[in-house]
Amino acid sequence: MPQSRLGLACHALLALGLMLSPRVFALPAATPAATPPMGWNSWNWFADKVTDQDVRKAADLIVTSGMRAAGYVYVNIDDTWEGERDATGVIHPNAKFPDMKALADYVHSRGLKLGIYSSPGPLTCANFAGSYGHEQQDAATYAGWGVDYVKYDLCSFRDVLDKAGITDLDERDRRIRAAYAKMHEAIVATGRPMVYSLCQYGFDSVWTWGASVGANLWRTTGDTSTDYDRIVVIALTQIGLGRYAGPGHWNDPDILEVGNGKLTHDEDQSHMTLWAMLAAPLLAGNNLTRMSDAVRDVLTNREVIAIDQDPLGSQVRVIRQEGPVLIWSRPLADGSLAFAVFNIGTDRASLRGLQRDVLQAGAPPGAVARDLWAGRTLKSLRDLDGLTVPSHGVLLLRLKRP
Protein backbone atom coordinates (compact mmCIF):
# COMPACT_ATOMS: atom_id res chain seq x y z
CA MET A 1 0.00 0.00 0.00
CA PRO A 2 1.48 3.42 -0.87
CA GLN A 3 2.25 5.64 2.09
CA SER A 4 -0.68 7.97 1.40
CA ARG A 5 -3.23 5.14 1.74
CA LEU A 6 -1.46 3.94 4.84
CA GLY A 7 -1.61 7.51 6.17
CA LEU A 8 -5.35 7.72 5.51
CA ALA A 9 -5.94 4.43 7.30
CA CYS A 10 -3.94 5.80 10.24
CA HIS A 11 -6.00 8.97 10.49
CA ALA A 12 -9.28 7.07 10.46
CA LEU A 13 -8.09 4.68 13.13
CA LEU A 14 -6.45 7.37 15.24
CA ALA A 15 -9.85 8.89 16.02
CA LEU A 16 -11.17 5.50 17.16
CA GLY A 17 -8.12 4.85 19.30
CA LEU A 18 -8.36 8.19 21.06
CA MET A 19 -12.00 7.52 21.93
CA LEU A 20 -11.43 4.18 23.58
CA SER A 21 -9.23 3.37 26.53
CA PRO A 22 -8.03 -0.01 27.79
CA ARG A 23 -9.88 -1.91 30.52
CA VAL A 24 -7.81 -4.05 32.82
CA PHE A 25 -8.79 -7.46 34.17
CA ALA A 26 -6.99 -8.84 37.21
CA LEU A 27 -6.77 -12.63 37.48
CA PRO A 28 -4.64 -14.94 39.62
CA ALA A 29 -1.15 -15.75 38.31
CA ALA A 30 -2.19 -19.36 37.73
CA THR A 31 -4.65 -18.26 35.04
CA PRO A 32 -3.80 -19.88 31.69
CA ALA A 33 -2.34 -17.21 29.42
CA ALA A 34 -2.15 -14.74 32.31
CA THR A 35 0.16 -12.86 29.95
CA PRO A 36 0.00 -13.11 26.14
CA PRO A 37 1.19 -16.59 25.04
CA MET A 38 4.74 -16.75 23.68
CA GLY A 39 6.15 -19.45 21.45
CA TRP A 40 6.64 -20.47 17.84
CA ASN A 41 4.16 -21.56 15.18
CA SER A 42 4.96 -23.64 12.10
CA TRP A 43 2.63 -21.95 9.61
CA ASN A 44 4.35 -18.73 8.50
CA TRP A 45 7.55 -20.47 7.45
CA PHE A 46 6.79 -24.15 6.83
CA ALA A 47 3.08 -23.96 5.93
CA ASP A 48 2.00 -27.42 4.65
CA LYS A 49 5.59 -28.75 4.56
CA VAL A 50 6.01 -28.99 8.34
CA THR A 51 7.17 -32.37 9.70
CA ASP A 52 7.89 -34.00 13.04
CA GLN A 53 11.60 -33.36 12.45
CA ASP A 54 11.01 -29.66 11.81
CA VAL A 55 9.10 -29.36 15.07
CA ARG A 56 11.79 -31.20 17.06
CA LYS A 57 14.45 -29.01 15.50
CA ALA A 58 12.42 -25.90 16.29
CA ALA A 59 12.14 -27.04 19.92
CA ASP A 60 15.92 -27.57 20.08
CA LEU A 61 16.60 -24.16 18.61
CA ILE A 62 14.13 -22.38 20.86
CA VAL A 63 16.29 -23.66 23.71
CA THR A 64 19.76 -23.10 22.22
CA SER A 65 18.97 -19.67 20.75
CA GLY A 66 17.92 -18.33 24.15
CA MET A 67 14.29 -17.96 23.08
CA ARG A 68 13.05 -20.29 25.81
CA ALA A 69 14.92 -18.32 28.43
CA ALA A 70 13.33 -15.17 27.01
CA GLY A 71 9.85 -16.65 27.50
CA TYR A 72 8.98 -18.50 24.28
CA VAL A 73 7.31 -21.69 25.51
CA TYR A 74 4.71 -23.00 23.05
CA VAL A 75 5.80 -24.99 20.01
CA ASN A 76 2.69 -24.93 17.88
CA ILE A 77 2.06 -27.31 15.00
CA ASP A 78 -0.34 -25.57 12.65
CA ASP A 79 -2.39 -27.11 9.84
CA THR A 80 -1.43 -30.24 7.83
CA TRP A 81 -0.49 -32.68 10.61
CA GLU A 82 -3.87 -34.45 10.34
CA GLY A 83 -4.29 -37.96 8.93
CA GLU A 84 -7.25 -40.33 8.76
CA ARG A 85 -9.82 -41.24 11.38
CA ASP A 86 -9.95 -44.91 12.30
CA ALA A 87 -13.11 -47.03 12.44
CA THR A 88 -13.94 -45.63 15.88
CA GLY A 89 -13.51 -42.06 14.69
CA VAL A 90 -10.21 -41.39 16.45
CA ILE A 91 -7.97 -38.99 14.52
CA HIS A 92 -4.42 -40.08 13.67
CA PRO A 93 -1.60 -37.88 12.41
CA ASN A 94 -0.42 -38.30 8.82
CA ALA A 95 2.94 -39.71 7.71
CA LYS A 96 4.73 -36.42 8.41
CA PHE A 97 4.04 -36.97 12.14
CA PRO A 98 4.65 -40.66 12.89
CA ASP A 99 4.10 -40.47 16.66
CA MET A 100 2.48 -37.39 18.16
CA LYS A 101 2.79 -38.60 21.76
CA ALA A 102 6.52 -39.14 21.29
CA LEU A 103 6.79 -35.68 19.74
CA ALA A 104 4.93 -34.13 22.67
CA ASP A 105 7.23 -35.97 25.09
CA TYR A 106 10.25 -34.63 23.21
CA VAL A 107 8.95 -31.05 23.27
CA HIS A 108 8.17 -31.39 26.98
CA SER A 109 11.65 -32.81 27.62
CA ARG A 110 13.03 -29.54 26.27
CA GLY A 111 11.05 -27.61 28.87
CA LEU A 112 8.51 -26.47 26.26
CA LYS A 113 4.81 -27.06 25.53
CA LEU A 114 3.10 -28.42 22.45
CA GLY A 115 0.34 -26.75 20.47
CA ILE A 116 -1.91 -28.27 17.84
CA TYR A 117 -4.44 -27.07 15.29
CA SER A 118 -7.93 -28.06 14.15
CA SER A 119 -11.19 -26.67 12.82
CA PRO A 120 -14.82 -26.75 13.97
CA GLY A 121 -15.63 -27.70 10.36
CA PRO A 122 -15.10 -31.09 8.71
CA LEU A 123 -12.03 -29.74 6.92
CA THR A 124 -9.25 -27.38 7.92
CA CYS A 125 -8.21 -24.43 5.78
CA ALA A 126 -5.66 -26.67 4.01
CA ASN A 127 -8.34 -29.36 3.49
CA PHE A 128 -7.20 -31.79 6.16
CA ALA A 129 -9.56 -33.44 8.66
CA GLY A 130 -11.29 -31.01 11.03
CA SER A 131 -13.05 -31.81 14.31
CA TYR A 132 -16.70 -31.44 13.20
CA GLY A 133 -18.71 -34.15 14.97
CA HIS A 134 -15.59 -35.40 16.78
CA GLU A 135 -14.95 -32.59 19.24
CA GLN A 136 -14.87 -34.67 22.45
CA GLN A 137 -12.87 -37.43 20.80
CA ASP A 138 -10.31 -35.00 19.41
CA ALA A 139 -9.93 -33.10 22.66
CA ALA A 140 -9.41 -36.43 24.45
CA THR A 141 -6.84 -37.48 21.82
CA TYR A 142 -4.95 -34.21 22.25
CA ALA A 143 -4.99 -34.62 26.02
CA GLY A 144 -3.68 -38.19 25.64
CA TRP A 145 -0.81 -36.96 23.51
CA GLY A 146 0.01 -34.21 26.02
CA VAL A 147 -1.08 -31.20 24.01
CA ASP A 148 -1.01 -27.87 25.84
CA TYR A 149 -2.52 -25.45 23.32
CA VAL A 150 -5.28 -25.74 20.69
CA LYS A 151 -5.77 -23.34 17.77
CA TYR A 152 -9.28 -23.77 16.34
CA ASP A 153 -9.66 -22.32 12.86
CA LEU A 154 -13.13 -21.60 11.41
CA CYS A 155 -12.47 -22.70 7.81
CA SER A 156 -15.09 -25.13 6.51
CA PHE A 157 -17.54 -24.59 9.36
CA ARG A 158 -19.05 -21.92 7.11
CA ASP A 159 -19.72 -24.63 4.50
CA VAL A 160 -21.59 -26.61 7.16
CA LEU A 161 -23.87 -23.62 7.67
CA ASP A 162 -24.29 -23.15 3.91
CA LYS A 163 -25.25 -26.80 3.43
CA ALA A 164 -27.75 -26.54 6.29
CA GLY A 165 -29.31 -23.59 4.46
CA ILE A 166 -28.62 -21.17 7.31
CA THR A 167 -28.49 -17.77 5.69
CA ASP A 168 -29.60 -15.53 8.56
CA LEU A 169 -26.43 -13.76 9.66
CA ASP A 170 -27.33 -13.63 13.35
CA GLU A 171 -28.10 -17.34 13.36
CA ARG A 172 -24.82 -18.10 11.57
CA ASP A 173 -22.93 -16.07 14.19
CA ARG A 174 -24.78 -17.87 16.99
CA ARG A 175 -23.84 -21.27 15.56
CA ILE A 176 -20.23 -20.27 15.11
CA ARG A 177 -20.04 -19.16 18.73
CA ALA A 178 -21.69 -22.43 19.80
CA ALA A 179 -19.13 -24.42 17.77
CA TYR A 180 -16.30 -22.63 19.56
CA ALA A 181 -17.94 -23.15 22.94
CA LYS A 182 -18.34 -26.86 22.15
CA MET A 183 -14.61 -27.40 21.70
CA HIS A 184 -13.91 -25.38 24.85
CA GLU A 185 -16.23 -27.66 26.81
CA ALA A 186 -14.57 -30.72 25.26
CA ILE A 187 -11.15 -29.43 26.31
CA VAL A 188 -12.35 -28.70 29.85
CA ALA A 189 -13.85 -32.21 30.06
CA THR A 190 -10.39 -33.74 29.45
CA GLY A 191 -9.12 -32.23 32.70
CA ARG A 192 -5.89 -31.19 30.95
CA PRO A 193 -5.24 -27.44 30.86
CA MET A 194 -4.89 -26.29 27.25
CA VAL A 195 -4.66 -22.72 26.04
CA TYR A 196 -7.57 -22.19 23.67
CA SER A 197 -6.95 -20.03 20.60
CA LEU A 198 -9.81 -18.99 18.33
CA CYS A 199 -9.05 -18.33 14.69
CA GLN A 200 -11.89 -16.73 12.72
CA TYR A 201 -10.09 -13.66 11.46
CA GLY A 202 -11.94 -11.08 13.59
CA PHE A 203 -15.42 -11.69 12.14
CA ASP A 204 -18.50 -10.88 14.22
CA SER A 205 -16.44 -8.68 16.58
CA VAL A 206 -14.99 -11.79 18.22
CA TRP A 207 -13.32 -9.65 20.90
CA THR A 208 -16.78 -9.01 22.38
CA TRP A 209 -17.57 -12.73 22.90
CA GLY A 210 -14.32 -14.71 22.63
CA ALA A 211 -13.81 -14.89 26.40
CA SER A 212 -17.41 -16.07 26.91
CA VAL A 213 -16.74 -19.22 24.84
CA GLY A 214 -13.61 -19.97 26.85
CA ALA A 215 -10.98 -18.49 24.54
CA ASN A 216 -7.63 -17.40 25.90
CA LEU A 217 -6.91 -15.59 22.65
CA TRP A 218 -8.78 -14.84 19.45
CA ARG A 219 -7.54 -13.79 16.07
CA THR A 220 -8.66 -10.25 15.32
CA THR A 221 -7.53 -10.09 11.69
CA GLY A 222 -6.66 -12.02 8.56
CA ASP A 223 -3.16 -13.41 8.22
CA THR A 224 0.05 -11.43 8.61
CA SER A 225 2.43 -11.34 5.64
CA THR A 226 6.04 -10.38 5.13
CA ASP A 227 4.98 -6.97 3.88
CA TYR A 228 5.66 -4.00 6.19
CA ASP A 229 2.51 -2.14 5.13
CA ARG A 230 0.39 -5.19 5.92
CA ILE A 231 1.93 -5.41 9.40
CA VAL A 232 1.22 -1.73 10.06
CA VAL A 233 -2.36 -1.91 8.78
CA ILE A 234 -3.06 -4.95 10.97
CA ALA A 235 -1.63 -3.12 13.99
CA LEU A 236 -3.75 -0.05 13.29
CA THR A 237 -6.93 -2.11 13.14
CA GLN A 238 -6.21 -3.20 16.72
CA ILE A 239 -6.58 0.28 18.16
CA GLY A 240 -9.48 0.39 20.56
CA LEU A 241 -9.68 -3.39 21.04
CA GLY A 242 -7.59 -3.33 24.21
CA ARG A 243 -10.65 -2.82 26.36
CA TYR A 244 -11.78 -6.36 25.50
CA ALA A 245 -8.48 -8.05 26.38
CA GLY A 246 -6.53 -8.67 29.55
CA PRO A 247 -4.98 -11.44 31.63
CA GLY A 248 -6.36 -14.78 30.41
CA HIS A 249 -7.91 -13.49 27.19
CA TRP A 250 -6.07 -11.65 24.45
CA ASN A 251 -6.52 -10.07 21.06
CA ASP A 252 -4.38 -11.97 18.56
CA PRO A 253 -3.22 -10.05 15.49
CA ASP A 254 -1.57 -13.27 14.21
CA ILE A 255 1.82 -14.98 14.11
CA LEU A 256 4.93 -12.78 13.88
CA GLU A 257 6.75 -12.43 10.57
CA VAL A 258 9.96 -11.17 12.24
CA GLY A 259 12.87 -12.71 10.32
CA ASN A 260 10.75 -13.72 7.35
CA GLY A 261 10.77 -12.51 3.77
CA LYS A 262 12.15 -9.10 2.99
CA LEU A 263 11.44 -7.36 6.28
CA THR A 264 14.43 -5.18 7.19
CA HIS A 265 15.95 -4.92 10.66
CA ASP A 266 14.07 -1.65 11.28
CA GLU A 267 10.85 -3.28 10.11
CA ASP A 268 11.43 -6.31 12.33
CA GLN A 269 11.95 -4.01 15.33
CA SER A 270 8.80 -2.06 14.43
CA HIS A 271 6.77 -5.28 14.04
CA MET A 272 7.94 -6.56 17.43
CA THR A 273 7.24 -3.18 19.03
CA LEU A 274 3.75 -2.93 17.52
CA TRP A 275 2.92 -6.38 18.92
CA ALA A 276 4.46 -5.52 22.31
CA MET A 277 2.48 -2.30 22.58
CA LEU A 278 -0.67 -4.26 21.65
CA ALA A 279 -0.07 -6.91 24.34
CA ALA A 280 -0.27 -9.39 21.48
CA PRO A 281 0.74 -13.05 21.66
CA LEU A 282 4.37 -13.37 20.55
CA LEU A 283 4.42 -16.46 18.34
CA ALA A 284 7.56 -16.39 16.24
CA GLY A 285 6.92 -17.64 12.71
CA ASN A 286 10.40 -17.74 11.25
CA ASN A 287 12.79 -20.47 10.17
CA LEU A 288 14.81 -20.99 13.35
CA THR A 289 17.39 -23.13 11.53
CA ARG A 290 18.56 -20.05 9.64
CA MET A 291 17.93 -17.29 12.19
CA SER A 292 20.48 -14.48 12.00
CA ASP A 293 21.88 -12.98 15.20
CA ALA A 294 20.05 -9.76 14.39
CA VAL A 295 16.67 -11.53 14.16
CA ARG A 296 17.38 -13.48 17.35
CA ASP A 297 18.20 -10.20 19.08
CA VAL A 298 14.90 -8.68 17.98
CA LEU A 299 12.90 -11.70 19.16
CA THR A 300 14.71 -12.03 22.47
CA ASN A 301 15.09 -8.41 23.59
CA ARG A 302 14.07 -8.90 27.23
CA GLU A 303 13.11 -5.31 27.84
CA VAL A 304 10.80 -5.27 24.81
CA ILE A 305 9.29 -8.62 25.81
CA ALA A 306 8.68 -7.20 29.29
CA ILE A 307 6.45 -4.55 27.71
CA ASP A 308 4.45 -7.22 25.87
CA GLN A 309 4.26 -9.43 28.96
CA ASP A 310 3.49 -6.67 31.45
CA PRO A 311 1.11 -8.19 34.03
CA LEU A 312 -1.31 -5.28 33.84
CA GLY A 313 -2.19 -6.45 30.33
CA SER A 314 -3.23 -3.01 29.19
CA GLN A 315 -3.04 -2.20 25.52
CA VAL A 316 -1.99 0.79 23.46
CA ARG A 317 -3.21 4.35 23.86
CA VAL A 318 -2.74 6.59 20.85
CA ILE A 319 -1.07 9.85 21.84
CA ARG A 320 -0.96 11.51 18.46
CA GLN A 321 0.02 11.20 14.83
CA GLU A 322 2.04 13.75 12.89
CA GLY A 323 2.37 12.90 9.23
CA PRO A 324 3.95 9.46 9.06
CA VAL A 325 4.94 9.51 12.76
CA LEU A 326 2.70 7.54 15.12
CA ILE A 327 3.07 8.01 18.86
CA TRP A 328 1.66 5.33 21.15
CA SER A 329 1.90 4.70 24.89
CA ARG A 330 0.98 1.89 27.24
CA PRO A 331 0.78 2.05 31.05
CA LEU A 332 2.73 -0.66 32.90
CA ALA A 333 2.16 -2.44 36.18
CA ASP A 334 5.06 -0.80 38.06
CA GLY A 335 3.81 2.70 37.25
CA SER A 336 6.21 3.20 34.39
CA LEU A 337 5.12 3.94 30.86
CA ALA A 338 5.95 2.34 27.53
CA PHE A 339 6.20 4.96 24.82
CA ALA A 340 6.71 4.15 21.15
CA VAL A 341 7.33 6.37 18.14
CA PHE A 342 6.87 4.68 14.75
CA ASN A 343 7.95 6.23 11.49
CA ILE A 344 5.81 4.57 8.80
CA GLY A 345 7.00 7.01 6.13
CA THR A 346 9.67 6.66 3.49
CA ASP A 347 12.05 9.36 4.86
CA ARG A 348 13.91 9.65 8.15
CA ALA A 349 11.78 11.61 10.63
CA SER A 350 13.06 14.27 13.06
CA LEU A 351 11.09 14.15 16.27
CA ARG A 352 9.75 17.29 17.87
CA GLY A 353 7.77 17.84 21.04
CA LEU A 354 8.49 14.39 22.49
CA GLN A 355 9.22 15.68 25.99
CA ARG A 356 5.75 17.19 26.06
CA ASP A 357 4.21 13.99 24.62
CA VAL A 358 5.89 11.82 27.21
CA LEU A 359 4.54 13.93 30.07
CA GLN A 360 1.10 14.18 28.50
CA ALA A 361 1.08 10.40 28.11
CA GLY A 362 1.47 10.03 31.87
CA ALA A 363 5.17 9.40 32.45
CA PRO A 364 5.91 9.29 36.18
CA PRO A 365 7.25 12.54 37.68
CA GLY A 366 10.97 12.98 37.05
CA ALA A 367 10.90 9.94 34.76
CA VAL A 368 14.10 8.34 33.52
CA ALA A 369 13.94 7.23 29.87
CA ARG A 370 15.38 3.91 28.80
CA ASP A 371 15.73 3.37 25.03
CA LEU A 372 14.89 -0.35 24.79
CA TRP A 373 16.20 -1.11 21.30
CA ALA A 374 19.43 0.83 21.85
CA GLY A 375 19.78 -0.62 25.36
CA ARG A 376 20.76 2.73 26.86
CA THR A 377 19.40 5.10 29.46
CA LEU A 378 19.04 8.70 28.33
CA LYS A 379 20.79 11.28 30.51
CA SER A 380 17.76 13.55 30.48
CA LEU A 381 14.34 13.79 28.85
CA ARG A 382 15.78 16.80 27.03
CA ASP A 383 17.74 14.29 24.91
CA LEU A 384 14.42 13.21 23.38
CA ASP A 385 14.15 16.35 21.31
CA GLY A 386 16.37 16.16 18.30
CA LEU A 387 16.16 12.38 17.99
CA THR A 388 15.45 10.96 14.55
CA VAL A 389 13.80 7.69 13.53
CA PRO A 390 14.66 5.99 10.23
CA SER A 391 12.05 5.11 7.64
CA HIS A 392 9.99 2.14 8.93
CA GLY A 393 11.96 2.32 12.19
CA VAL A 394 10.86 2.81 15.77
CA LEU A 395 11.93 4.39 19.03
CA LEU A 396 10.71 2.46 22.07
CA LEU A 397 11.14 3.94 25.53
CA ARG A 398 10.33 2.78 29.02
CA LEU A 399 9.80 5.79 31.26
CA LYS A 400 10.54 4.73 34.80
CA ARG A 401 10.34 6.37 38.19
CA PRO A 402 13.73 7.92 39.07
3-state secondary structure 356-390: HHHHHCCCCCCCEEEECCCCEECCCHHHHCCCEEC
Nearer to ligand GLA, 42 or 269 (CB): 42
Query: What is the Cα Rg of the chain in Å?
Result: 21
Q: What is the dihedral of CA 333, 336, 341, 342, to 10 degrees?
A: -20
Buried b (16+ CB within 10 A) or exposed e, 196-235: bbbbbbbebebbebbbebbbbbbbbbeebbbebbbbbbbb
Kindly provide the residue ranges of all beta strands, DSSP E only, lying in 154-238, ordered along the sequence: 195-199, 217-219
118 vs 273 by CB, closer to ligand GLA:
118
Q: What is the nearest approach in angstroms of ligand GLA to the Cβ of residue 80?
A: 7
Instruction: Give the active site residue among 153, 268, 308, 310.
Output: 153
Q: Is 48 a catalytic residue?
A: no
Binding site for ligand GLA (CB under 6 A): 43, 78-79, 124-126, 153, 199, 223
Alpha-carbon distance of 251 to 246, in angstroms, equals 9
- Please report how close the Cβ of residue 70 comes to ligand GLA at its closest, in angstroms: 23
Name the minimum Å distance from CB 174 to ligand GLA: 22
Q: Is 223 a catalytic residue?
A: yes
Active-site residue among 173, 223, 229, 297? 223
User: Which H or E run contains 149?
Assistant: strand 149-153
* Residue number with CB closer to ligand GLA (234 or 304): 234
By beta-carbon proximity to ligand GLA, the closer residue of 220 and 321 is 220
Q: Please state the separation of Cα 224 from the chain's center in Å.
A: 10
Say how many C-beta atoms besides its own lie within 10 A of residue 46's C-beta. 18
| Cβ at position 26, least distance to ligand GLA in Å | 30
- Which residue's CB is nearer to ligand GLA, number 78 or number 268? 78
* CB-nearer residue toward ligand GLA: 22 or 202: 202
Judge residue 252's burial from the number of C-beta atoms within 10 Å of its C-beta, 0-12 exposed, 13-18 middle, 19 or more buried: buried
CA dist., res. 114 & res. 119, Å (int): 17
DSSP 371: E
Query: Judging by DSSP bridges, how do beta strands 317-322 and 325-331 pair with one another?
Result: antiparallel
Smallest distance, ligand GLA to C-beta of residue 44, A = 8
Closest distance of CB 298 from ligand GLA, Å = 21
The residues annotated as belonging to the active site are 153, 223
